[in-house]
Amino acid sequence: MASAGVNVLRYTALFAGVSYGFYRQSNLNAQSHKAKVDRDFAHQASLITQAKAEFKNKNMPSENVTKGAEVISDPNDPKFDLEGYLTALMGEKAK
């Protein structure tokens, strides 16, 4: 039979191992959660950047405007003026 001192050491080692296991698992879970939060934040930031670029492309006039007459040539644009576009087009052909 084992003496009382040996049993105390065994149970102390067992308790220390279980305590370390809980501590280690807690740290691993916290790191995993932090990494997931960071990934989600980076993904949201990239979506916001992409949305800003799309908004800029949608709302800012780009190459759809002819150079001299400031006439919008994109028929999908809500400010498109067919008469103004055709007049500008006829003026370019006349030159």
How do residues 68-78 score in pLDDT, each as one tens digit? 557 788 888 88
**Residue-wise burial string across 37-75, b where 16 or more C-beta atoms lie within 10 A, e elsewhere:** eeeeeeeeeeeeeeeeeeeeeeeeeeeeebeeeebbeee
pLDDT given for residue 86 in this prediction: 87
pTM of the model: 0.52
The per-residue pLDDT for range 5-59, each reduced to its tens digit, is 999 999 999 999 999 999 999 999 999 999 999 999 999 999 999 999 999 888 8
Count each helix (H run) and each strand (E run) in the chain, helices first.
Answer: 2, 0
What are residue 72's DSSP bridge partners? 65
- The better pLDDT of the pair 60, 62 is held by 60
Task: Supply the DSSP string of 71-92, one letter for each residue.
Answer: -B--TTSTT--HHHHHHHHHHH
